[in-house]
Amino acid sequence: MSLPLEGLSAIVTGAGRGLGRAEALELARLGASVVVNDFGQPGRDGSGEASAAPAEEVAAEIRAAAGRAVAHTGDVADHDQARELVRTAVDTYGKLDILVNNAGILRDRMIFSMTEAEWDTVIHVHLKGHFNTTHFAAAHWRERSKATGGPVYGRIVNTSSEAFLAGSAGQPNYAAAKGGIVGLTTSTALALAKYGVTANAICPRARTRMTEDVFAGFQEPGAGRLDPLAPEHVSPLVGYLASPAAARVNGQLLVVHGGMVAIVERPKVAAKFDSAKDAFTFDELDEALSPYYADRPPNETFAAAEILGLKKG
């Protein structure tokens, strides 16, 4: 029996550890040939011996399990290195079929304490990194579609966050970047649909090196039980969205963790008010909007904090 991703090639960014590593391993398990991207060079282990770069280690792990994988250690936030990443997939496997954007960093701080560098760095890595790889992958698919005169196979899975949905107070840079990624995803989904490409975003909750401080208060499971925050709860959804089975899933946002997947509905208009004449006056707006908001709980905003309470069962 053939595997669902057999014959397809994939890029996973930020795949040297944690969530990206689990996603790369899952795509390979499902049959994909993988380019494992993670920004980092070889280092030294605890004994001072040379150690492979994280991307190389994961690629080797995939090959040891009879899969196909190569490593790429470039920075996806750099436009030229992102171009080289896509070129690596095409040169190695003949084409690119799947792009999983996962690479990111945290620089948490309240808005009044955040530095310009902390803001710029997070936006640069998350949002520009997603754009860079998507840009070059999209150009590849468009060229292939023009050459064949029809749709091609293309899947993009982007990584947003519940921080965007719930309005994480201590992560204004991260929440903004992750919200931007959702906008990028829905725009990309509409732009590339005619070429046969889908683009979706996930909001994963996983205990990784990047989030160890964020989830420090979450209790770990007992012996023999899978951690509800294990990346392995997320990677199967990425495998599904990358597969032919998800051909009709496009421009969607899904929350995933701990044996649960939740589909997030698009925003809806809650109320509408019309001006008496061509344009509103201040007094008209005061009469219409002030009563509407008068009885609202003070902390109820556009953010959907209740999403943080979702769990299996």
Q: Which residues are catalytic?
A: 161, 174, 178
The neighbouring-strand residues paired with 101 are 158
Asked if 169 and 184 count as a contact pair (C-beta separation under 8 A), the reply is: no
**Residue 159 is encoded by which pair of tokens?**
């990584």
Residues 294, 7: Cα–Cα separation, whole Å: 58
3-class SS of residue 49: coil
Q: Which residues of 224-248 are buried (b: 16+ CB within 10 A; e: fewer)?
A: eeebbbbbebbbbbbbbbbbeebee
CB neighbours of 273 closer than 8 A, spacing ≥ 6? 288, 289
The Cα-based distances of 9 to 85, 114, 226 in angstroms read 13, 40, 29
CB neighbours of 190 closer than 8 A, spacing ≥ 6? 251
Residues 254, 2: Cα–Cα separation, whole Å: 27
Residues 227, 206: Cα–Cα separation, whole Å: 9
